Structure 1
């Protein structure tokens, strides 16, 4: 008669085995700040190339700033590369007075609402349509917000999600926890010229609220230039732009 099978391991021995299996599974994932696990580039063939932005578009963007101590925002974004301008119309949650962030390619940005205005001068202009063409690192594919996306990161500052099927942007995640979800994307969407004009009180003597963001060439070089442009494009509050670049 064959010997009886060995008894099962005691429960105290099973626990370390289960913990080891869980750790191995977790370590097998690639993670990044504010980004869930991505799937690495498969063998064979070069990684995909990011789709350049159209030279003009209108997007509605839902912004979540709660991880960095902020609020929820809804942003109407108008990108006009031929016109050398970009506009974020920012509506904070439960706030009736929107904030206009009008950015020009010469580095000047105007942040204004119905009562106040602030001018911020950046050392760089707008993000070009092919801003991901150089220096972006491909991380793989991920299902995010219900879409199958390619994922890139650039200067360890932003994680960019592009829908595989259409090339449309789906989401941006920033290193400080800010998440921006693209709710609609209209190629060729333009805004009438009068909406881009900063009000008169941005230029009178009583508004002396002007700030300069440090030149990237004197601090973090090309990385700061990209970060400057991304901070502007994301509609980050003027008061927090310099602080973001210093992190």
Structure 2
């Protein structure tokens, strides 16, 4: 039920943070992975991971440029031998600032990466998955897919859109054997949250709000991603799975 040996995955934003944790977990599970990231670090991923017989391909790509996005996807697909079983849309942006001070340029960038690129990559992957009548698409939502957040209007809007996109694509593609789900990380120990963790006011407020009494780790998310990619979740689609230490249950 949980065997992923020999599967092929494309993971965006996999050079650091939650994305890298998932790359590492899938690599260890025997999945050949193509990673698309704008950072130069993506080219060093195979050296960062423990050596085994499973390949990891690094592709530097800008997902805000639709032409480059399509080129990067096609390169990833070619490196995987023309097959993709799993797509994880992990790349994302956040900018914490009051809405009255938020520029339209920043709004467009966040919606472009967090929503538009997810839609386009999902379409490209689904075209290939439909041919084989199977596939797993895992989108990175957030607890702000449900909550309003604070000083994060663009980010919370984008993650709310990811949840609705996940449901819509699941409705359309379930009959083709493609499951589309989303993960909702809570407050995680990643560089994206450094400013929040180091805020002398907000940091303690956040930790006090988490029933588990700790921030989440990238490994907490990777385990759920493995489940959603495995045969064990073949009848799970169109849902949002929180990985938040109980925040959404309060």
Q: Tell me the TM-score range normalised by the shorter chain.
A: under 0.3
TM-score (norm 1): 0.25
> Which structure has more helix as a fraction of its residues?
2
TM-score (norm 2): 0.25
